[in-house]
Structure 1
Amino acid sequence: MKFLSIKGWIDNYSGTTSILTSLGKCLLRSGQANSYIDHPLIPVDIVANMTIVIGWITATKNNLLSNPMVYNCSTGSNYKTCVSFSDYVEIVIREQKSIGFENYRLIQPNLYLTTITPFYYIRRFFEEILPAYLIDFFSLLTFRKTGMVKLNKRISNVVATLNYFASNQWIFSNHNSQFLLNQMTDFDKEEFHFDVKDIDWTIYLRNYCIGVKKYLLKEPLHQSKKSKLTFRKILTRYFLSLLFFLFLTWFTRRYFRRKLF
């Protein structure tokens, strides 16, 4: 099977890419989604190849098309070609742990999926909102740049946008797509491959994670020391910075009191 595109290449945070990135950075810990339904995910090179084939058959075989046809680039109703949300999260977390994202990795990546709204908001408050405010508070005390609260709100808006689509099952017929495959020769199927049944989701999602790390985050593929920092080490750093700030405040106050009095 040939792919002309660079595996894992990506240049924007649209769609599930922002979710995947937030999950790898441990900024996203809970989500509203049905873990048992299929995740309607299609690689972009599959879409590109199918678009080329649609143009070819429309231009050369109009006699086969009595009426305009609509082609859905989807997995159809065949569950064997799909990946569920639970499998998607499991594979992504496993690959992200092995790859290692930098900067905001305070704890190991994890995502709790639920369809119960109160449970979602409770977990989100304790695992996302409260830590964001605490980190910004410590950053403010140690004269560091804040922004975790603002970033958390942006992630929350993305999750809210995708909530409806992640909580309902979506099935699009791909009969016309199968018709396209039947009109192609074996050579064309190899050159312009778009059969979703051949997608290995584990390999695809691994390349997806690598692409986000390499092309979007501009991070080295090997795990650096920064990406291996544990929550205890980071918490210790903030605690020592806070102690230094308090000591500096006490020393400055005492020094000026002696000068003035």
Structure 2
Amino acid sequence: MVTIPEYYEGKNVLITGATGFMGKVLLEKLLRSCPGVKAAYVLVRPKAGQAPTARIADMINCKLFDRLREDQPDFTEKIVAVNSDLTQPDLDLSIEDQETLMGCINIVFHCAATIRFNEPLKDAMQLNVLATQKMLNLAHRMKYLDVFIHVSTAYAHCDRELIEEVVYPPPVDYRKLVDTLEWMDDKLVSLMTPKLLGERPNTYTYTKALAEHLIQQECGNLNVAIVRPSIVGASWKEPFPGWIDNFNGPSGIFIAAGKGILRTMRASNNAVADLVPVDVVINTTLAAAWYSGSQRHARPRSMLVYNCTTGGINPFHWGEVEYCINMTFKTNPLEQAFRRPNCNIYCLRSNPFTNQYWTTVSHTLPALLYDGSSEANAHMSLLFSRLLPALFPCHSWVWNTDNVTMLMNQMGSEDKKVFNIDVRQLHWAEYMENYCMGTKKYVLNEELSGLPAARKHLNKLRNIRYTFNTILVVLIWRIFIARSQMARNIWYFVVSLCFKFLSYFRASSTMRY
């Protein structure tokens, strides 16, 4: 088999969702590690008055493309922005653009999707299911198409305990659901959504499952593969450790914890946090296209599914995530923290009633005290409603990853280095530190030169906390304990017990000395 860069040499690639987190990492990695690729066509819709070409120009000016800029200063010549809207008929492509794509594209990477977990069902169907159907229709008309890669999610079938690398039957017939949603008003759709979702937590996982089945039913003779990443996080190694550019998924959680805003969430310390670095996902995606594309004539055509996860190979738990966040942000604090990062005591709680109590005490009340207009509380509520359900922090799944292992074994030694997908090599503590620092540098744009001031601010918050606790103890003493003989007796008993323990340990230390 040819190497991965050799396979992409002279190929024209089409990417949807190129302005999103994974899409831009895919574009950068493709151009940097496969310099022989002929062109990368990206479907982009106009937004906020910006034309597609302007949006791409803004995107490639970010730090993510710095390394590529140094290696290949003229890389922008290979990027072709195509005006398109995936929610419109025929993808809103002009006749000329359709003819161009049908006559030159060799590989399609369909990454576009809505990742909003509370997206109304109609909108999620438009973006995750019907857009996929339109992309398949376009792919069927491409004369020289080698392979169609669809990026799904490992949680598409989270109603199962064991998730194999296969496409499962959908909860409903997607065709009937599409027809039904056409005549329903939004209020009726909202009422029936919980019943449709069943055991799935949100419309994202539900529509992703439908999209997979649609591909299976309508791919025909297309050479198709599906990549299912779990919770996609910051980069592990490429183009540099810790790169992240958004608040989505775990990033917003880490920032909220580092700022001292997030103090409690419903989760289990022992549940596997199936984080997977974005560069591992992209390397898997590029390698999957290479394998399916280069083997299309050498083996019976079948749709391969790749569960791109870490939990079954190199597990990392939410309790360990909590510890790493706490340690990193206490050593390298975020600027203008609301409170000291303090995830140790009660951040991860599996009991919903206990969690609700601590949410009120640790989030709602401080927010109201901090900002009488409750603006801070609104931001917190928005953060928790959008981000926390995304992490599935109370449960662990078992994903089969045989196809990913097979893919890794098919790669040559050099490809294994350049397109590393071996998560057994991932050192979690180091990765988490880089991830947290990445949110500081690339999401919040905080310079390392501001660390001394941030540490000083954290010490100030600590002193305020100690002072507040001392005043609180004195008030409790004056109001409750000093007025009751029984309370005083209990208080003196507890204090004397503490002194006895201290005396015992002091005596033991002296004897050992």
The verdict on a shared fold, with TM-score over 0.5 as the criterion, is: yes
TM-aligned CA distance change 1:166 to 1:4, over 3 Å: closer
Q: Identify the match of residue 12 of structure 1 among 246, 265, 268.
A: 246
| CA deviation string 1:110-155 (max 9, x = no partner) | 2521111110011111111111111113xx7xxxxx7312222112
User: 1:41 — aligned with what?
Assistant: 275
User: Tell me, which stretches of 5 or more residues in structure 2 are unaligned?
Assistant: 1-235, 466-513
Q: Any idea what SS the aligned residue of 1:109 has?
A: coil
User: 1:112 — aligned with what?
Assistant: 347
Q: Structure 1 residue 32 and structure 2 residue 244: aligned?
A: no
TM-aligned CA distance change 1:96 to 1:160, over 3 Å: closer
User: 1:254 — aligned with what?
Assistant: none
Q: Any idea what SS the aligned residue of 2:265 has?
A: strand
User: 1:255 — aligned with what?
Assistant: none
Structure 1 residue 37: deviation in Å? 1.3
Tell me, yes or no, if the aligned pair for 2:274 and 2:311 is still in contact at 8 Å.
no
User: 1:102 — aligned with what?
Assistant: 335
Q: Structure 1 residue 74 and structure 2 residue 309: aligned?
A: yes
Structure 1 residue 172: deviation in Å? 1.6
Q: Any idea what SS the aligned residue of 1:70 has?
A: strand
Structure 1 residue 201: deviation in Å? 0.8
Cα RMSD (Å) of the superposition? Answer: 2.3
Q: Structure 1 residue 133 and structure 2 residue 339: aligned?
A: no
Structure 1 residue 227: deviation in Å? 4.5
Q: Structure 1 residue 89 and structure 2 residue 319: aligned?
A: no
Q: Identify the match of residue 456 of structure 2 among 228, 232, 235.
A: 228
> Which residue identity is paired with 1:56?
W
Cα distance in 1 for partners of 2:428, 2:305 equals: 26
Cα distance in 1 for partners of 2:369, 2:332 equals: 27
Alignment of 1:108-257 (within 5 A): 108-110=341-343, 112-137=347-372, 147-158=375-386, 160-162=388-390, 165-222=392-449, 223-229=451-457, 230-231=460-461
User: Sequence identity, in percent?
Assistant: 27
Which structure is higher in strand share? 2
TM-aligned CA distance change 1:135 to 1:178, over 3 Å: same
Q: Aligned residues, how many?
A: 225
Structure 1 residue 232: deviation in Å? 6.0
| CA deviation string 1:26-83 (max 9, x = no partner) | 00000101110110100000011111111111111232454211011112533xx011
Cα distance in 2 for partners of 1:95, 1:226 equals: 13
TM-aligned CA distance change 1:182 to 1:207, over 3 Å: same
More contact order relative to length (CA 8 Å, sep ≥ 6): 1
Q: Any idea what SS the aligned residue of 1:225 has?
A: helix
TM-score by length of 1: 0.79
Cα distance in 2 for partners of 1:156, 1:56 equals: 39
